[in-house]
Amino acid sequence: MAKRTPGEKTENITTKAKELPKVAAGIAGLDDVLYGGFPAGRTTLISGGPGTGKTVCGMEFLYRSAVNGEPGIFVTFEERAEAVRRNTLTLGWDLASLEKRGKLFLFGAHVDPQAAISGDFNVKGLLAIMEGKAKSMGARRIVIDAVDVLMRIFNDPMRERNELYALNDWLNDHEMTAVLTVKTSAGGDIMPRYEFLDYMADCVIQLDHRVVEQVSTRRMRVIKYRGSSYMHKEHPFVITDNGVNIIPIMTVGLQHKALGAKVSAGHPRLDAMLDGGYRRASCVLLSGTPGTGKTTLANVFVVAACERGEKVLYINFEESEEAIVSGMLSPGIDLRPALRDGKLRLMAAAPEVMGAEEHLFQALRAIEAFQPDHVVVDAMSSCRRMGTEQAAYEYLIRLTNACKEKGLTMILTNQTAGFQNEHEITGMEISSIIDTVVFLRFIDIGGEINRMLMIMKSRGQKSSNQYREFVITDKGIDVLDVYVGGGGVLTGAARQEQEASEALEARRKRVEIELREHEIKQKRAALEAEIARRRAELETAEAELKALQLEEGVVQESRDIRGKIRGEDANSLRLKTGGQKRKGRGAGRKEGTK
């Protein structure tokens, strides 16, 4: 269906000037996807299941047109005009006033379900009304919503087809820029009897609303656009308090700004390791196991930036605003002045409350409104909870791209699972867009657990490749001298080469020690498991013995009782058993089993 016609240009924004005349859809992002808008004077079909946003798309087109002085007609077979007016008020659209000014006409075309049918008929009535209204208003734009409902009265695929062609002919003859909406079945496929609509229309857009892992996502896709190129792919969209917002998936890295000047990471020694700091318009990843100080390191940067008078947008998926502000006070980082001065804006949201595109939309809107210099996302590992890994990936890629296009520095924190997974530091295959990686970890040597910091990657700048001890105090952070394992400091530049090999050796040794430690830990665990198993065996044997003893006690007791019942005559027997009892338990048992 999405086959290209021979004349179609390859997907390239620069070809749009040569294309057929278009009318801006007025829907955020849609004009980008359609390279300009709906085809002027032609029919666009929007199909989708119930609740996918077809009506609101059509309405927004006419609403934006009307606000800009271009009159339009909205015909709906599904809702009453009053319901449409009321529903759109929640989007802040005052249709009634546009109607009064003759810029909009709402026609709640109700098909009487009780009408009797006798012989042939056609849609001339509707065409006459549209023609009359279009002429009197000077309208060139029309939306026909839920055209499938009108077609039901024909109750015959052939007749439906003829009537839809008649409708389309009328629209074309009058050069109306038209949007038809039609319902599809739940599966997303257009119902077979309306399949020809795809061929009839010049532009076909499919909407989809699905729930993946409890998170709802809306997608739109252009199926075809006669005589024009368009962005292929599925584009996420959201319906917010100001209408439909489509977030086009752009080609990655198309308009990225070059990496900018150095910007302090918030601590002089860290800056020294980074040859001056992070770079503007770069994407910095702070990665590490839980508790290593990723958030602290991010906030050191935030406070420093805000003190310089720069603005930071902090997107937090982990904690509330209060929690992060008070949490940062303990390492002596006070975010309150920056918040008070409006230099810092905290956006806290649980990843699972909405879909990835909604999160993306909120973030992009905040960037647009707040115009920050830097954006922090804490933590990108939480983004997985937005739904699928794919959704999280798209969110991060597109947010990062947006930041790079605007030349904003982006700081991402990422939580890794453990030592074994050092290589997952960048996670989710986004390593290509990450410029700098700062890796944090705990290291356990000489009975102490210390935080270590290392620059693992830094595009476009020199950086130290050594592990440093990273300390969090109540007065912020500190980065100590090069760590060499046994204590002592490497200094001087003369023995650089030798030092480098020593550092390498030291690192190799540390890894070895760690491996050994791990091995011993495992051996100890195995030993302990073995001890526990043996102990359990012993306990089982003891328990069995106890049970037997108890049983024997009961047998002896009942024997005594029997003896008592038999009275004086059994005296000799009682004496006999008494004697046996004195002989020992084994003999007694032997007697009992006879």
Partner 1 sequence: MNQSDRKAETKGTEAQGETYILRLFMVDDEPNSRQARENLERLQQTYLKRPHKKEIVDVLEDFQTALENNVLVTPCLILVSPLPKVTVFGNLNDTKRVVAALRLT
| Site residues (vs partner 1, CB under 8 A) | 107, 109-112, 114-126, 128-129, 131-133, 150, 153
CB nearer to partner 1: give 107 or 483.
107
- Least distance (Å) between residue 104 CB and partner 1: 15
**Residue 402, CA atoms < 13 Å, CB-side half-sphere:** 22
CB nearer to partner 1: give 111 or 323.
111
Instruction: Give CA–CA dist 391/356, Å, rounded.
Output: 6
- Least distance (Å) between residue 74 CB and partner 1: 14
Q: Are the CB atoms for 166 and 160 separated by under 8 Å?
A: no
- Least distance (Å) between residue 81 CB and partner 1: 11
Q: Which H helix or E strand runs over 166?
A: helix 157-173
Instruction: Give CA–CA dist 178/72, Å, rounded.
Output: 10
CB nearer to partner 1: give 122 or 185.
122
Q: Which residues contact 208 (CB under 8 A, 6 or more apart)?
A: 48, 49, 52, 188, 218, 219, 220, 221, 234
CB nearer to partner 1: give 107 or 467.
107
Closest CA to 236 of 388, 347, 454: 388
- Least distance (Å) between residue 96 CB and partner 1: 18
- Least distance (Å) between residue 119 CB and partner 1: 4
Residue 85 is encoded by which pair of tokens? Answer: 């007016």
Distance set, CA 159 to CA 184, 191, 548 (Å): 19, 16, 92
- Least distance (Å) between residue 73 CB and partner 1: 11
Instruction: Give CA–CA dist 267/275, Å, rounded.
Output: 12
Closest CA to 25 of 130, 247, 177, 132: 177
Does residue 218 sit in helix, strand or coil?
Answer: strand
CB nearer to partner 1: give 33 or 150.
150
Residue 263 is encoded by which pair of tokens? Answer: 């910007």
CB nearer to partner 1: give 128 or 417.
128
Q: Is the peptide bond before 338 cis (omega within 30 degrees of 0)?
A: no
- Least distance (Å) between residue 123 CB and partner 1: 6
- Least distance (Å) between residue 106 CB and partner 1: 12
Burial 162-177 (b: 16+ CB within 10 A, else e): ebbeebbebbeebebb
CB nearer to partner 1: give 106 or 303.
106
CB nearer to partner 1: give 9 or 133.
133
